[in-house]
Homo-oligomer: A and B are copies of this chain.
Amino acid sequence: MNASTEPRRTRAEWRDYLHRIIFEADTPAGKTFDVVLIWAIVLSVVVVSLDTVESYHDRFGDLFYALEWFFTALFTVEYVLRLLTAPHAGRYARSFFGIVDLLAVLPSYVGLLVPGSQYLMVVRGLRVIRVFRVLKLMEYVGEANVLRRALRASRYKITVFILTVLVIVLFVGALMYLIEGPEHGFTSIPRAAYWGIVTLTTVGYGDIAPETPLGQALAAMVMIMGYGIIAVPTGIVTVELNRAATALANQLRCPGCGSGDHPMDASYCRLCGEALKQT
Contact = CB atoms under 8 A, between A and B. Distances in A.
How many protomers of this protein does the assembly include? 4
Nearest to A193: B49
Contact of A171 (B53, B126, B144, B187): B126
Given A140-B156, A230-B227, A231-B234, A188 B271 contact: no
Nearest to A50: B190
B126 A167 contact: yes
Interface string A178-196: 1000000001111101100
Contacts of A174: 48-49, 119-120, 122-123
Interface stretch (A1-9, A17-25, A81-89, A205-213): A205-213
B177 A198 contact: no
Contacts of A201: 202, 223-224, 226-227
Contacts of A160: 132, 140, 143-144, 147
Contact of A228 (B187, B216, B217, B233): B233
A90 interface: no
A129 interface: yes
Interface string A242-275: 1001000000000000000111011111111101
Contacts of A61: none
Nearest to A56: B188
For chain A, what secondary structure do more than half of its interface residues adopt (helix, strand, loop), or is it mixed?
helix
B170 A122 contact: yes
B197 A147 contact: no
A37 interface: no
A273 to B, nearest CB: 4
A170 B125 contact: yes
Given A157-B147, A233-B228, A177 B140 contact: no
Given A167-B129, A270-B265, A150 B235 contact: yes
B238 A234 contact: yes
Interface string A116-136: 100110110110110110000
30 contacts: A49-B190, A49-B193, A53-B190, A53-B191, A53-B213, A119-B189, A122-B174, A128-B167, A129-B167, A131-B163, A140-B159, A143-B157, A147-B157, A198-B220, A198-B223, A201-B224, A203-B204, A204-B205, A205-B205, A206-B206, A228-B237, A231-B237, A231-B238, A235-B242, A238-B239, A238-B242, A239-B241, A261-B263, A268-B268, A268-B270
